[in-house]
Structure 1
């Protein structure tokens, strides 16, 4: 949490400077937004099949004008990401049907540069790109499944904390992000993609976040 707190302070100081220098051009705008995530990972799951997992996000974006077409965007969101693997695995005399669901809750700060094109009065197309920084704050991952050992069947299941344990994921994550959207006066629809750059897996696990999001926002 210390990392995300320090980043929040730095972003606030930077944007106060942007806001002061841009007040004569356009006002600073805020957007309350929420939407759906479809996330996955670069998990090295071997023979198991990786599947996307649905999630959500809610938060607020702050937009600082540099000119009438270029902007700096940031904010804070609460977002759920994750991944799922399932399939059959054979190791010696042990066969297992395994399904592992990772549940990751983050506080996330984006930092984007945005470019806006006015289509008609009151309607603009927005393109943005930049980076994101996230801190894992909660999450419980589940491992239900069935194991066959010498033709005898056993149930093998359990839960573990997604962050903090020896075999869990590292909390801090960062990566690239970008997308496109449409502004209809005070309503904003955005489609964005996030590519995790930090390997947050521990021990022999390689794990980088991947996430697509569709959000609906209200600007004021």
Structure 2
């Protein structure tokens, strides 16, 4: 009976803690500017010399308290990435992703606001993509295993991207915040070719500045 009472007490305490954490969960919106690139190397092992391309991100997130000053911050963003391609005039790669970042956030009192520092993984799903230049444009075909026909007027690329986030910022007493974030893609976006592993590597990298507001 004593064990059952202790077990029931523990369950009730956990439920009360979860409910309390849920009550303290806050939600926010975020939007900003991206400076993105496609890095890696071609089939010959030569590194790309692409240049940064400006894009944007916009989305929502939640902050779930874990401990004093520590939070779990999942979110959903629409983010545009890509690059200005080397040796190709004005050709730009434009790729739109639905991203799900999950950051472990540290918020410490600083002045009348809070210092923000975070790190965590993200997963992105490519939903739009196009290469545009002076000579025309070509849609990105999202595929994990490309065929020869996929390269006719199109550029094959994997749909799923994933990597790591870093963020540093400040939240004012008014609940507005400014944030500097960086991303390092860890998955090769180059697809297989008719079942063979790709010889080149292409990854998303970049940084950005955003503003947000917590409700």
**Structure 1 length normalisation: TM-score?**
0.75
Identify unmatched segments of 5+ residues in structure 2: 1-13, 143-149, 192-197
| Cα distance in 2 for residues equivalent to 1:199 and 1:22 | 41
Q: Could you tell me how far 1:169 is from its partner in structure 2?
A: 1.3
Correspondence for 2:125: 135
2:212 to 210, 217, 220: 217
Q: How does 1:22-101 map to 2 (within 5 A)?
A: 23=20, 27-44=24-41, 46=46, 49-87=49-87, 98-101=89-92
Runs of 4+ residues over 4 Å off in structure 1? 17-20, 45-48
Q: Could you tell me how far 1:49 is from its partner in structure 2?
A: 3.6
1:190 to 158, 168, 179: 179
Matched positions, count: 182
Q: SS of the counterpart of 1:42?
A: strand
Q: SS of the counterpart of 1:62?
A: strand
Per-residue CA shift, 1:39-71, capped at 9, x if unaligned?
012142658741100000000011101123010
Aligned pair in 2 of structure 1 residues 98, 131: CA closer, same or farther (>3 Å)?
Answer: same
1:34–1:57 Cα contact (<8 Å) kept: yes
Aligned pair in 2 of structure 1 residues 160, 217: CA closer, same or farther (>3 Å)?
Answer: same
Give me the CA root mean square deviation.
Answer: 2.5
**Structure 2 length normalisation: TM-score?**
0.76
Correspondence for 1:126: 116
1:86–1:99 Cα contact (<8 Å) kept: no
2:117–2:169 Cα contact (<8 Å) kept: yes
More displaced 10-residue stretch of structure 1: 47-56 or 18-27? 18-27
1:52–1:83 Cα contact (<8 Å) kept: yes
Q: SS of the counterpart of 1:168?
A: strand
Per-residue CA shift, 1:135-165, capped at 9, x if unaligned?
0000211243xxxxxxxxxxxx232122324
1:102 to 57, 76, 93: 93
Q: Could you tell me how far 1:77 is from its partner in structure 2?
A: 0.5
